[in-house]
Chains A and B, each alone.
Chain A
Amino acid sequence: MTTFAPPTPRTPAVPADLRRASLSRRRRLTDAVAKAAIWLALIVAVVPLALVTYYVILKGSGVMSWAFLTEPIPRSLRREGPGMGPAIIGTIVITGSAALIAIPLGVLGAIYLNEYGKQSPLARTIRTMSDVMTGVPSIVMGLFIYVGFVLLVHEQSGFAGALALACLMLPVVIRTSEEMLRLVPDELRQASMALGARKWRTTVSIVIPAALSGITSGALLAIARAAGETAPIVLVVGLTYKTNWSLFGGNTALPAQIFANASQPFEASVNRAWGAALTLVVIVLITTLIGRFIANRFAIKER
């Protein structure tokens, strides 16, 4: 046994002063300033959102009417009056087809990453590259589709716009779906396999349904994002004034109309831009909210 030095007599037990007031003034001040700065940062972010919302609602509601949502777009920028119908239909047609292209491909890609590739070098490369692809500017996607598609078929069309938006959505859908597939418990897969189901059956009828709510909400968020993309639409779709339900032939979309009308010196066209902005924001918000609702309501609980 080792011997210990006799304990030095302790300083009389004065309870440490733990009140804030015991801190030096400098430390208290720095702390207060830092906290104030953090609150300020919050306000800096909230104010623009509030202002944008305020102006979009204020100016947009001025021109909003049933006629605005359905009438064709006036050819003269100067002319007062309604009309964004073709752009609304264009937005729905183009974004909808983009979703039809991107979501199945994205989910398949995610299945590859999570069910087959896992940590293989190829899967890791695809994962990194889809992250990188989410950062590719939308205008570059527009240029790509223009060069790779519009120049080949010699026509700007809604389909070209859908392709560009699909390219933008694809990596987002892949990454969010993969996250969701990862949450599906392995026991489900093992149970299905043990019953003799093949891997594709297991994936299609067990794994996907289990992750469906997450995949849906991720897809809706990607759609909301794509609906607001402007640059690719401006490059590959062009502008028309008539309603076009077809994917082919000239078309138009709300973001492109906002862009075209915003920089005009005419009151009438700027008003239409605000109206279109309000319509677009409402479409985007509804899609986002549905996505969030599904995500919260039907989420798989993380185990």
Chain B
Amino acid sequence: MTQTTERPSGGLTQRGRGAGADRAFWIACLLAGILVLAILALILITTLREAWPALTYSGLDFITSDHWVTNDPDGDGPRQPEFGALAFIYGTLTVSAISLVVAVPVSIGIALFLTELAPRRLRSAVVTVIDLLAAVPSVVFGLWGIIVVAPALVKVYRWVHDTFGGVPGVGSIFGEPVSSGRSFMTAGLIVAIMIIPIVTSITREVFATVPESEKHAALALGATRWEMIKGAVFPHSFGGMVGAVMLGLGRALGETIAVALTIGAATQITPNIFASGNAMPAVIVQQWGESGGVHTAALVGLGVVLFAVTVVVNYLARFVVRRAEIRMKGIAA
């Protein structure tokens, strides 16, 4: 090889032109990735700091008391504002429970339809419907809920109350319906509609991982379609279904606007699902405008509780889904 003096030695591993840009690009990408972790940490730190006055003011009462008195009841008198969020925690759990009871069987049904039953042409139509359901903003469901659904359901509630209200035990659940129809039940139904898409899409993914060979084997042994689902699909996808339900739960716990509109804004703990109540996220958005001082801090405190609970629920859900998927693929391989 002849020595060329003009040209710098062009080794393939040169650290020359462009190495800086390469490094800068890498750092930019890394920072953008770390941003996610930073935001999650910042959420916890900043909101906790802001809520601290209310949390120290109320102490453990914040989650064990159901007295939520935002304004000083008698001026400079002996009684003080109180911030006990138990009623809202109860409301959030009740609404989420109702929505899961409604949404989970429906979602599993739709997922089964899509994976096992649907004719090819219908399948894409159903997927579109589910996608559209997910695309409708929650405030639109809330508007529909408060104007159309709540008044329409009062009659149904009354009928259920008259029919089952006397049954001992169950009767107290179906108590006297509130006249506006804005109740735990209405909020739960609206939230159910909103979590159907997410639960459906995850269960569908899980069902899709069931090995075809097992399904065929079940059918070859003479099982009916349903027996095949029961014997081959469900046992395989149990873990994933649990994860899907938990993801739905995470969504239901945090649903704000639709619940704020349809739950009726009453601070009470009652087994009656036809009564008005309130939920944590709904309280924040309803009282935000007129809050100040410790009250604002208490509302931020509700947000902290909500954040902690949803992060834990979502983390567990992802964990369960991932583990189920790994196990499934292991078998399929």
For residue B138, CB closer than 8 A to chain A, the reply is: yes
For residue A28, CB closer than 8 A to chain B, the reply is: yes
A73-81, A125-133, A184-192, A209-217: which lies at the B interface? Answer: A125-133
CB-CB under 8 A for A139 and B306, given A105-B32, A170-B36, A200-B22: yes
Residues of chain A with a CB closer than 8 A to B224's CB: 23, 27-28, 30-31
Q: Which residue of B lies closest to A125 (CB)?
A: B37
CB distance from B69 to the nearest CB of A (A): 22
For residue A1, CB closer than 8 A to chain B, the reply is: no
Across the interface, B139 reaches (CB within 8 A) one of A55, A131, A259, namely A259
Across the interface, A135 reaches (CB within 8 A) one of B35, B196, B285, B314, namely B314
For residue B277, CB closer than 8 A to chain A, the reply is: no
- In whole angstroms, how far apart are the Cα atoms of A104 and B126 in the complex? 33
- In whole angstroms, how far apart are the Cα atoms of A200 and B30 in the complex? 13
Residues of chain A with a CB closer than 8 A to B226's CB: 30-31, 34-35
Across the interface, B47 reaches (CB within 8 A) one of A34, A40, A144, A255, namely A144
- In whole angstroms, how far apart are the Cα atoms of A270 and B146 in the complex? 11
Asked whether, in the complex, the Cβ of B131 is within 8 Å of the Cβ of A111, the reply is: no
Asked whether, in the complex, the Cβ of B300 is within 8 Å of the Cβ of A143, the reply is: yes
For residue B159, CB closer than 8 A to chain A, the reply is: no
Residues of chain B with a CB closer than 8 A to A200's CB: 18, 21-22, 24-26
What string of 1s and 0s marks CB contacts (under 8 Å) between B123-140 and chain A?
Answer: 000100111110111111
Asked whether, in the complex, the Cβ of A49 is within 8 Å of the Cβ of B137, the reply is: no
Asked whether, in the complex, the Cβ of A277 is within 8 Å of the Cβ of B140, the reply is: yes
- In whole angstroms, how far apart are the Cα atoms of A144 and B317 in the complex? 24
Q: Among the interface residues A30, A40, A48, A117, which one has the most CB atoms of the partner chain B within 10 A?
A: A48
CB-CB under 8 A for A140 and B47, given A45-B110, A229-B137, A262-B261: yes
A61-69, A243-251, A280-288: which lies at the B interface? Answer: A280-288
CB distance from A268 to the nearest CB of B (A): 14
B164-172, B252-260, B323-331: which lies at the A interface? Answer: B252-260
Residues of chain B with a CB closer than 8 A to A140's CB: 43, 47, 254, 303, 306-307, 310
Interface residues of A in 116-147 (CB under 8 A from B): 116-117, 122-123, 125-126, 128-141, 143-144, 147
For residue B108, CB closer than 8 A to chain A, the reply is: yes
For residue A234, CB closer than 8 A to chain B, the reply is: yes
